[in-house]
Amino acid sequence: MKSEPIATEISLEKPYEWTGLRSDFATEGDDATARVNNDTALEHGLERAISALTHDQHADGYWCYELEADCTIPAEYILMMHFMDEIDAPLQERLARYLRRHQNEDGGWPLFEGGPADISCTVKAYYALKLAGDLPDAPHMRRARDCVLAAGGAARANVFTRIALAQFGQVPWRAVPFTPIEVMLFPRWFAFHLSKVAYWSRTVMVPLLILCSLKRMARNPHGIGVRELFITAPEEETDYFPVRSAANRVLIRLDAVGRRAERFIPRWLRRRAIARGEAWFTARLNGHGGLGAIFPAMVNAYEALDCLGYPADHPYRRTAREAIDKLLIEHADEAYCQPCVSPVWDSVLAALALQETGQARAIDAAERALQWLAGEQLLDAPGDWREQHPTLPGGGWAFQFRNDYYPDLDDTGAVGWAMYRSADARYTEARERAARWVAGMQSSNGGYGAFDADNTHDYLNEIPFADHGALLDPPTADVSARCAILLNYASRENPAYREPLSRVLEYLYAQQEEDGAWFGRWGTNYIYGTWSVLAALEVCGVDPQHPAIRRAVAWLKRAQRTDGGWGETNLSYFEPELRGQADASTSFHTAWALLGLMAAGEAHAPEARRGIDHLLATQDTEGLWHEPQFSAPGFPRVFYLKYHGYSKYFPLWALARYRTLTGSAA
């Protein structure tokens, strides 16, 4: 097996002003001078990037960068304030400024920077601004309204938007799927059961089922509505559920039957189901981490607690609201709300980048991060994953500061990777526990989902509630790649891990697309997926001449842009033929492509040199990179994210890796 080399320490005595790498040496006599200049540029670029990253490290050892989503989240925060009649006017105005600034020229709001208008996001943003006091005749509101009407009106918005509209009395309850709380009483063998959907679906659904079953209405103290967003009057609209497939047609009809039968549900049965749902979500309130540690679930829980009669000063209510407010990012004149926080993910990726540099202070910062991470490992905490694996010892990490019920495989694989690279004996037990947990969470096809094994009940994505198509957590190549890295390291010490490692590698080979790329479920998109798998194949000692690796290398080289960088639009989730394409290069896509090429033995390729040139040419004087593009899907085609840390640690990682593999020669 190949080991991963670590560079020697960087030592710089004075700052350097970047003037560009030379990739075309004019004469043999110029070569030595160009090489010295290139080496100096790379060294100083690395030094600035290290300084910038270590400057952001928290005193406790972790990193936690902003995690920005589309305007649905800040809009929902305003809706929540009016739902509860808990309106903070100054905060509301700062949120409204953020919404106005992110409106497209066509009047709508996109799911990601530079994307087309999305009707559901636009309806919520418009409603939030109207609640915040924007007049419907204001130019930006007229443009938003025209955008919604041109897309078919608010009746065409998604299920979650229509549920919010029903709660505010803007559509009848028949406009939303039949979501009875009695599903809490279904046995595990039934076609629908909470354990059969993803963790994020469970945590969002349970309190929402209570709200919808009790038909809880928003307080809406100012009585503001948005009937102007409908082409047909909401009470006259008959087409709230466009048919997506033959199976969906059948389930829509069953949904209608269930709605008509709801009045026959005995009151005692409903009370029992509500009590079951209440017990389920209150057990998972997760302190100041919030239910599921994700904003939609937290808001539903907060509103459900009020609906169930918990007073405002009850510890559950108070803590639930504090958890929500911890997600706010407030600036002097505007604010937005994050969907969650990412300290474990940010910290381990920053640590991996710093480890690659070999620089003493960088290694020290990485070690402090690993020490913090060691204390965050979830060992004996309860978790939904234990329903499938009751005898499996814990050993995973969550994504957030606290999310005890829901450790994830991706973070765990990455933390284990960094701990094995550290080789510090203090992490021996932690990484062994992580490897054992990962091996035990393998799906039957050899791959790994993010939070559960075999969460592949595809028929559930056909139910009317699941029009977002993201109800499940099936295995994916990117998560599986991180798990393969951890299993490979563990197998060097314990042969028992070779069998699950072999199975996950077979899964990864099977997932490769015909053109050589791999799909990226948790990062945009095929460039991310391809880097993830190539990194795993390198650590696992796969020959760089393996046909799968050569196909991936060829695809990455074809995807390189004329400026030397790489980029990929989030539209590739809608149109796969756009994979590896974008209007502009980004630092993180360029870093992923470079890391992928270098993992495949292409460090000396001209494409790698041009990519490094691009990174150094776009680095600012503080050692960082900045771009507006969103870097990942929360749910492909539905919800997207901008990890603010991706432009800080991934370019550094690529520069350091290049220096390691080329002996400081650019």
Kindly report which listed range (244-258, 308-322, 471-485) carries the lowest average pLDDT score.
Answer: 244-258
pLDDT of 32 above 80: no
Q: What is the pLDDT of residue 118?
A: 97
Which range among 142-151, 414-423, 456-465, 640-649 shows the weakest confidence by mean pLDDT? 456-465
The answer to whether residues 107 and 70 touch, using CB atoms and an 8 Å cutoff, is no
Q: Determine the Cα–Cα distance for residues 103 and 372; give it in Å rounded to an integer.
A: 39
**Distance between CA atoms of residues 655 and 435, nearest Å:** 29
The pLDDT tens digits of the residues spanning 346-360 come to: 999 999 999 999 999
d(CA 535, CA 595): 7
Q: Does the pTM exceed 0.95?
A: no
Q: DSSP label at 632? A: E
User: Could you read off the pLDDT of 250-291 as tens digits, one per residue?
Assistant: 988 988 898 899 999 999 999 999 999 999 999 999 999 999
Q: Which two tokens stand for residue 462?
A: 């056909």
Please tell me the predicted confidence (pLDDT) of residue 244. Answer: 87
The predicted-structure confidence for 183-208, as pLDDT tens digits, reads as follows 999 999 999 999 999 999 999 999 99
Question: Rounded to the nearest 5°, which phi and psi values hold at 633?
Answer: -90, 140
Residues 53 and 441: their CA atoms lie apart, in Å, by 33
Given a contact cutoff of 8 angstroms between Cβ atoms, the answer to whether 633 and 522 are in contact is: yes
Has residue 17 got a pLDDT over 60? no
Residue 11 has pLDDT above 70, yes or no: no
Closest C-alpha to 73, from 634, 552, 647, 590 = 634
Indicate the angle between helix axes 72-84 and 89-101, nearest 10 degrees: 150
Written as one string, the DSSP assignment of 48-100 is HHHHHHHHT--TTS-----EEE-THHHHHHHHHHHHHT---HHHHHHHHHHHH
- 332 pLDDT exceeds 90? no
Short-list 410, 417, 427, 422, CA closest to 362: 422
- What average pLDDT does the structure give for the chain? 93
DSSP element (H, E) containing 642: strand 639-643
CA atoms within 13 A on the CB side of 440: 20
Selection from 241, 242, 176, 239 nearest residue 209 by Cα:
176
Residues acting as catalytic residues: 410
- Which of 21-30, 381-390, 553-562, 615-624 is predicted least confidently? 21-30
pLDDT tens, residue by residue, 518-550:
999 999 999 999 999 999 999 999 999 999 999
| pLDDT score of 255 | 87
Query: Taking the mean position of all CA atoms in its chain, how far away is CA 38?
Result: 36
pLDDT for the residue numbered 631: 97
Band (37; pLDDT cuts 50, 70, 90): low
Do 314 and 233 form a contact (C-beta atoms < 8 A)? no
pLDDT tens-digit series, residues 553-596: 999 999 999 999 999 999 999 999 999 999 999 999 999 999 99
Contact in structure between 111 and 640 (CB atoms under 8 Å): yes
Q: Return the HEC string of 464-498.
A: HHHCCCCCCECCEHHHHHHHHHHHHHHHCCCHHHH
Over residues 89-98, the pLDDT tens digits come to 999 999 999 9
Number of Cβ within a 10 Å radius of residue 77: 23
Q: What is the pLDDT at residue 466?
A: 80
